[in-house]
A = this chain, B = another copy of it.
Amino acid sequence: MILAIDVGGTKLAAARVTPEGEIEETRRAATPQDADAGTLWKALRELIGPLSAGVTGVGVGCGGPMEWPEGVVSPLNIPGWRGFPLRARLSGLFPGLPVRVHNDAICLAVAEHWRGAGQGVRDMLGMVVSTGVGGGLVLGGRLVNGGTGNAGHIGHVIVEPGGGPPCGCGGHGCLEAVARGPALTSWALAHGWTPRTAADPDHPEERAVTARMLAADARAGDPAAVAAMRRAGRALGIAIASATHLCDLELVTIGGGLSQAGELLFGPLEEALREHARMGFARRVRVVPAALGQEAGLIGAAALILAADRY
């Protein structure tokens, strides 16, 4: 039995996964906010304790950046862990067992290749478009780690080179700076979008403007919301065209909250992609929504152990 762990800024999740890759039992807990390293570790231990009997390996997806493959993690959204030796600590709990830690976006890509929309595909990019934009590369049927475990960072492919918006990475014009959820809503607000739900006094919890609200308003025909989705979709299409030419991709899967937007996002994405991916070999690329839901991270983490020959 494998223990799979998914460490995120808002929630911790863990599961017992059978050797066949089936999730047997899952537990979730809120990630302690503003907590120190010890409190966070205690919360994770309490979560996984009841799942640990008979475990033969531990796979972990965690927000980056991290030192890889050492698994010393500094997740952007978990300030209490800076240089936290997650892999070593888990090895202490499970002495002698294989423990692997990888970037959460990479685990999502691995999951889609292993059990999702990318099954049987040799060359794919698994993307997640949400608060950030990330991904993982599978080429020749195997996960590409890159020298530091950071291959697949499509969020920092350049889509607006000349004075594009500033990015959290310190650069500008990155795909993430254009297409991450908060960038979309900011752009829409600055271009005349007035969120409908935010004006509803019965739902004060929705005063925070979200990409989900933007997508809903775009579906309802709000011009600025439609334009914002179009801008993000085209940026995604341009970045995917670049990645397809560079890596000779057959498939791109897109998961994360924004991928729920459907045709409003995928329409402009396809338009820009087909405009730019013109080499014969590049025209075969297909872009599809990710097939797995909220358990994808756990499935990918389990694959790090159960299919370690490929991932």
Contact = CB atoms under 8 A, between A and B. Distances in A.
Interface of A: 65, 122-123, 137, 139-140, 144-162, 167, 169-174, 238-239, 241-243, 245-250, 272, 275-282, 284
B247 A157 contact: no
A284 B152 CA distance: 16
Q: How many copies does the complex hold?
A: 2
Contacts of A159: 158, 161
Contact of A65 (B144, B249, B280): B280
A217 B146 CA distance: 40
A40 to B, nearest CB: 22
B281 A248 contact: no
B276 A171 contact: yes
Contacts of A249: 146-147
Given A246-B137, A281-B148, A281-B150, A160 B161 contact: yes
A171 B246 contact: no
Contacts of A239: 242
B158 A146 contact: no
A160 to B, nearest CB: 7
Contacts of A148: 248, 281, 284
A27 B75 CA distance: 57
Nearest to A68: B281
B278 A137 contact: no
B145 A248 contact: yes
Given A171-B277, A246-B243, A147 B123 contact: yes
